[in-house]
Amino acid sequence: MMAIVNRTPDSFYDQGATWAEDKAFERVATVVEQGAEIVDIGGIKAAPGVEIGEAEERERVVDFVARVREAYPSLVISVDTWRASVGDAVCRAGADVLNDAWGGADPELVDVAAQHDVAIICTHTGGVTPRTRPYRLEYDDVVASAIADTTAYAQRALDAGVARESVVIDPAHDFGKNTFHSLELTRRLGEMVGTGWPVLVSLSNKDFVGETLDRPVGERLLGTLAATAICASAGARIYRVHEVVETRQVVDMAWTIAGRRPPARAIRGLQ
């Protein structure tokens, strides 16, 4: 489980609930207690909005990463950034993962990951500019495009010197995609898993869920969990989430049905 921690005043989901540093730190404590193995700290919301420069982004995340690292030495800390300069700063502060949600918009980010021996998440965005919404994007085959782009990005990371076990691919639901694209990626996620790279999915409360079920942001949990079950059955390895406990149960159940995980106990009919 990768739990989302927003250091932003305008997140689409929590609307700034963890903008204050102490509130964000309380969120970290909560998700760690709930069993999250990774926290993903972000300083800029993905949607269009007020321009946030590199200095402001660093101010929002670097010292906070250092604080979390000091408090939780064994916790895996990810930072959601596409900027190499910010990536360098957070790695120096103790980050373990660079989550590039914008598909290699800054080509030097892989060099930063290699320099600091950290992991990198390679996403598919269809080449859109960071913090822009997709508009009438078309793909001959969105899954083929996602596989081609993420595996090419993964290879660039390897060529830069990132360890193979430190590279993850992500179809990036909603990013550079309409709802039909995201549904197709969910339905055929097994094809991405079949590349051999570990797959991360970020499904939590996204617009493709809301549009599918006609539900606003605060009412998308059930739809999110349904999509999660499909991705878990297909073999996704990492889940970027708002709701840790509920997602864990869904993933555990799906993985157990698939034969990848034993039941926590199995005494029925034995005593």
Catalytic residues, by residue number, are: 206, 240
Alpha helices in the chain (DSSP H): 21-33, 54-71, 84-93, 109-116, 142-160, 179-187, 189-193, 207-213, 221-234, 244-257
Q: Which among 142, 133, 124 is positioned nearest to 181, based on CA atoms?
A: 142
Say if residues 189 and 234 touch (Cβ distance below 8 Å): yes
User: Residue 265, exposed/middle/buried by CB under 10 A (0-12, 13-18, 19+)?
Assistant: exposed
Q: Which residue has the tokens 């898993």?
A: 193
CA distance 126 to 138: 9
